[in-house]
Amino acid sequence: MLASRLLTILMLLQTRGRMSASELAKEFEVSVRTIHRDIDQLSAAGVPVFADRGRSGGFQLMDGYRTRLTGMTQPEAEAVFLTGLPGPAAQLGLADTLAAARLKLTAALPASLQPSAERIASRFHLDPTTWFRGADPLPSLQPVARAVWSGHCVKLNYRTNKDAEPYARKLAPLGLVLKGGTWYLVAMSGKATRTYRVGLISDAVVTDEQFKRPKDFDLAAHWEQSSRAYESGLYRERADIRLSPRGFALLELLGPYVTEAAMKTAKRDNQGWTLCSVPIESHSHAVREFLRLGDDIEVVGPPALRERLIDTLRQTAKRYSR
């Protein structure tokens, strides 16, 4: 474990440059004191690593020093090939670049690892798009991606939905996220950080204006936090429901957030049905969603939601009885 951590510290300093003791400690989930001991061991082994004191200091390797301990193991080579997403790469305009990089990586691998890595590429395919829907038209994805990569502001028109009128914005793009086959742009608008669906962006133009990226911004952490905040903010009400055994098995149709809440509150009654409390967006949305489970669900409350569902079923039955 220690040898592995020392090697990883060495590789991090080589690829990222200067890193503070607290950053390294967070990376390995160890104490700052442990990192200082690791640095001492690297120095004792002849690795030219030195520390800069002060507020913006940290550890770094001597200029020009490069370690040759970069050989990939078989699992690492297989994992690299598994991360290739040809669809999203093509959307970003990187299909040829990705193909060339994989070819060069294959050529650089030892002969004993090449067949295994190529087997991964030929036997696993990652398709991020959900069933029964195509990808969004993305005329602005490539210029937005260039702005993200170069750190320049981008001017664009944005619609809150497909039927809304577009309005002009100037954004400081922080990153792109591919979620369920849909691209999202995380960007600063003034001092606020917001999320924009790329499929609703048009007329994107990269400007010459550069912006200062927040030093402590972590795209993955921000996305996870904002996604949970979005989900919890979207479901503002609750409903009590009963589910038959078949209905409980079909609960995933209502989405993972609802399913998780149902599992936490589930109680079986003496008829074999399950009573649980689930979050809902609104009464109208809940009626549409609950009808997906047919007669395997019963709305217990609130009374207004139950009455709305009864009225919907009554109107439906009336229409089909003609």
Q: Does residue 289 lie in a domain region?
A: yes
Last residue of a domain, one of 14, 29, 61: 61
Nearest to 141 by CA among 169, 172, 188, 178: 178
Q: Does residue 134 lie in a domain region?
A: no
- The sign of the CA dihedral 140, 143, 149, 152 is negative
- How deeply is 238 buried, as exposed, middle or buried, from its count of CB atoms within 10 A (0-12, 13-18, 19+)? middle
Distance of alpha carbon 90 from alpha carbon 87, whole angstroms: 5
Q: How much is the pLDDT for 9?
A: 85
Asked if residue 197 and residue 178 are part of one domain, the reply reads yes
DSSP string, 7-23: HHHHHHHHHH--B-HHH
List the chain pLDDT tens, one digit each, 322 residues: 667 788 788 878 877 788 888 888 888 889 989 998 988 888 888 888 888 776 677 888 888 776 665 566 666 665 666 566 667 777 777 777 666 666 666 666 666 666 776 676 667 677 777 776 666 678 889 999 999 989 999 999 999 888 889 899 999 999 999 887 889 999 999 889 999 999 999 999 999 999 999 988 999 999 999 988 887 788 889 999 999 999 999 988 888 888 988 999 999 999 999 999 999 999 999 999 999 999 999 999 999 999 999 999 999 999 988 7
Distance of alpha carbon 272 from alpha carbon 242, whole angstroms: 10
Q: How much is the pLDDT for 12?
A: 83
Q: Does residue 129 lie in a domain region?
A: no
- SS3 of residue 286 by DSSP: helix
Q: Does residue 297 lie in a domain region?
A: yes
Query: Structural domain of residue 88, as residue ranges?
Result: 76-123
Residue recorded with tokens 């990705």 = 98
Residue 199 has a CB neighbour count (10 Å cut-off) of 18
Asked if residue 250 and residue 211 are part of one domain, the reply reads no
CATH assignment of the domain containing 30: 1.10.10.10
Q: How much is the pLDDT for 79?
A: 61
| Radius of gyration for the alpha carbons in the chain, expressed in angstroms and rounded | 27
Asked if residue 82 and residue 8 are part of one domain, the reply reads no
Q: How much is the pLDDT for 222?
A: 93
Q: How much is the pLDDT for 120?
A: 66
Q: How much is the pLDDT for 188?
A: 95
Asked if residue 301 and residue 254 are part of one domain, the reply reads yes
Distance of alpha carbon 180 from alpha carbon 235, whole angstroms: 20
Report residue 158 as tokens: 């944005």
Largest CA distance in the chain: 89
Asked if residue 147 and residue 199 are part of one domain, the reply reads yes
For residue 68, give Cα distances in angstroms to 14, 195, 284.
Answer: 11, 41, 62
Q: How much is the pLDDT for 277?
A: 94
Residue 91 has a CB neighbour count (10 Å cut-off) of 19
Taking a C-beta distance cutoff of 8 angstroms, is the pair 49, 13 a contact?
yes
DSSP string, 129-168: SPTT--PPP-TTHHHHHHHHHHTEEEEEEE-SSTTSPPEE
Count up the domains in the chain and report the number: 4
Q: How much is the pLDDT for 63?
A: 80
Report residue 191 as tokens: 């001092």
DSSP string, 203-272: EEEEEEEE----TT--HHHHHHHHHHHHHHHH--EEEEEEE-HHHHHTGGGG-HHHHHHHHHH-EE-TTS
Q: How much is the pLDDT for 219?
A: 92
Q: Does residue 71 lie in a domain region?
A: no
Question: Which are the contacts of 56, defined by CB distance < 8 A and separation ≥ 6?
Answer: none
